Amino acid sequence: MSTVQAFRTLLFYLLLSSSALLWCTLSFFVAPFLSFRARYHFINVLWCRFAVGLSSTVLGLHYQVSGAENVPKQPCVILANHQSTWETFFLSSYFEPLSQVLKRELLYVPFFGWAMAMLKPIAIDRNNPKAALKQVAQKGHELLLQGCWVLIFPEGTRLPPGQLGKFSRGGTALAVNAGLPVLPIAHNAGEFWPKHGWGKRPGTIQVIIGPPMYAEGEGPRAIAELNERAFAWVSQAQQQLSGVAPQTVADSSSAA
């Protein structure tokens, strides 16, 4: 990484952390008086758009979306591969209101966690996978009925480009039980915003939104079949982005 890019990255983190502290503090005093949808837009959408815009302006990290016409009008379960922090910012601002699975401990972080707690997240205890799966199923179903998108990273953890973790069935089970489709999404954010280290590389992230996928039937078999289709689509999209079929790695997911 060049000296100039290193400086840009340092500046980016300074501005991002400062804005997060300022915005979460402001949200803590303003958001409680807003409706949930207005609250979500104020806390999450505005700041995440700022974060994505900041990465574009300071880091030279742009993005391009294809398949936007595939997004259904009714919120459903989003299944996306996970490579970096960037896609969390992007997806949180692109779909609203949106709830996602996160570690329960994050809600205890002063101001940041308190602001997140007002957005109806699915906060789980990763040390208790069985209870976490039950919580994702129960709260996720309630959120879908309330008109919220539910974001699931079915790999369960961030993986570098060229690798794709086996998908947990939690997301497809949630969709099937709610009678809704899953919306598969693939991207290559990890090529520019890697999982490890603080360095960032300028370029254009490609985001591909696939067609909504419905289960063919009900029950465990339908859930498994839908999960396989979603995984196959994301795998094929990853190959389209990089020109090489991703290596499937052992399932490292938990509740997600």
Q: Could you give the dihedral angle defined by the CA atoms of residues 73, 78, 79 and 83, in that order, rounded to the nearest 10 degrees? A: 120
- 178 three-state secondary structure: helix
Contact between 36 and 48 (Cβ < 8 Å): no
Domains of the chain plus CATH, in order, are 3-249 (3.40.1130)
- Residue 255 to residue 68: CA distance in whole angstroms: 28
Model pLDDT, residue 158? 93
Contacting residues for 150 by C-beta, under 8 A, at least 6 apart: 75, 76, 77, 78, 98, 99, 100, 122, 140, 143, 144, 171, 174
Asked if the peptide bond before residue 212 counts as cis, ω within 30 degrees of 0, the response is no
Helix ranges (H only) for 101-218 are 112-117, 129-145, 170-178
Give CA angle at 13 (11, 14), nearest 5°: 65
Residue 4: exposed, middle, or buried by beta-carbon count in 10 A (0-12, 13-18, 19+)?
Answer: exposed
Beta partners for residue 203, in sequence order:
61
State which H helix or E strand residue 88 sits in: helix 86-94
- Residue 91 to residue 181: CA distance in whole angstroms: 17
- 253 three-state secondary structure: coil
Tens-digit pLDDT string for the chain (256 aa):
688 888 999 999 999 999 999 998 899 889 889 999 999 999 999 999 999 999 999 999 999 999 999 999 999 999 999 999 999 999 999 999 999 988 888 888 877 787 888 898 998 887 888 888 888 899 999 999 999 999 999 998 999 999 999 999 999 999 999 999 999 999 999 999 998 888 899 999 999 999 999 999 889 999 999 999 999 999 999 999 998 889 998 755 445 5
Model pLDDT, residue 86? 96
